[in-house]
Structure formats: structure tokens, C-alpha cells
Amino acid sequence: TDYTTAFPYMQDRGLVGSIAVNSGVAEMSVAQMLEMQAAGWSMHNHTTTHANLTLLSAAGMRSELELCRSFLQSNGLNSGRSAMILPFGARDAAVDAVVAEYYPYVMTVGGETVGIPIWPGFIEPHRIQRISMDVPVTSSTIIGYINSAVARGNSIILYGHNVTTSAISGNTD
């Protein structure tokens, strides 16, 4: 639904987004991702199988990261020094250590922050928070988050998994 719903909706409004790619799960074709990337969207490692990295050994974590990174690179899906997007936002000291070997920025999940200072950068580049739109939340609440971030001169990262019309819990409307 990122390609069929979110992409045209945002494109019509001059907006771009990011895709968290699981290389072992075929949700979009490479051609669709390349089209989105050409339109300004960024593609990010989200592991091969959407594994909870806190449940894996260091070798298992590296395998999940390397296979997905290899998939992205071999298909021209390159967002430069990209951010890793942690499945489930799950992290601990071991995950932090392994992921830091590969990526300068890591997206996790956090509280209901209303924005991240755009400059001088991220305070904790391996703990960049994002706000879920996958839980029951009204559009007015999301708009409030955005307006608050804008008023502070901040950016905000919103994420959702399944973008659809008249969404139920677990989807993004």
C-alpha cells in the first residue's frame, strides 16, 4: 500500500517519504521502489525478515543487516549513508553495538515527541524517535503533532505500516 496508496497521495501534494525495506518479504517490486526513489523517496534497511534483533545473536543480527543491505545495493536502492529502521523499534545495548557498525543513524520508536531539531542534528543518532500511526490515533492528533513540530522549527517522523482508506487499528488511514 506504500506504492498504491501513500505514494500517489503524497506525490499529489509534493511530499516524499521513506520505505523500510525487508529484503526477504516481497511487498513491492524493485521497479516500484526504484520509481519511488526517483521521485525523491528514500529506501532503508529494515532487515531481511523483519526480525526482532534483540532476540538474535550478534552473528544473526549481522546476517539480517548484511543480506538486506546487499539487496538494496545490488538493486540500486541507495539512500547514501542511510538510516537503519529497527523492526518493532526493538533495541538494547547489543543491538546498538552491532547496528552502529553499519549505520550512522537508527530509527527506533519512542514517546509522543513533537519533533526533532533540524539543526545542529540528532542528539542521539542511534535513537531517532518516530511516532506510530499504527495505533488508534485521530487525524487531528497527528495534525497536532505536525503543527507543534512546525511551530518549534522541528522535523517529525511519522510511521505506519499499511496505508489504506478507513483504516482500522494496525493500519494508517
What is residue 110's predicted lDDT score, i.e. its pLDDT? 60
Q: What is the DSSP letter of 165?
A: T
For residue 143, count other CB atoms closer than 10 A to its CB: 10
What is residue 26's predicted lDDT score, i.e. its pLDDT? 75
As a whole number of angstroms, the distance between CA 146 and CA 123 comes to: 20
What is residue 132's predicted lDDT score, i.e. its pLDDT? 65
Which residue in 93, 104, 162 sits closest to 128, CA to CA? Answer: 104
pLDDT tens per residue, range 87-124: 888 889 999 999 999 988 887 766 544 444 444 455 55
* Host H or E run for residue 37: helix 30-38
**pLDDT: is 3 or 152 the higher one?**
3
Three cell numbers, residue 140: 487531528
As a whole number of angstroms, the distance between CA 73 and CA 81 comes to: 12
What is residue 118's predicted lDDT score, i.e. its pLDDT? 47
pLDDT tens per residue, range 31-80: 999 999 999 998 989 999 999 999 999 999 999 999 999 999 999 997 76
CB 21 within 8 A of CB 68: yes
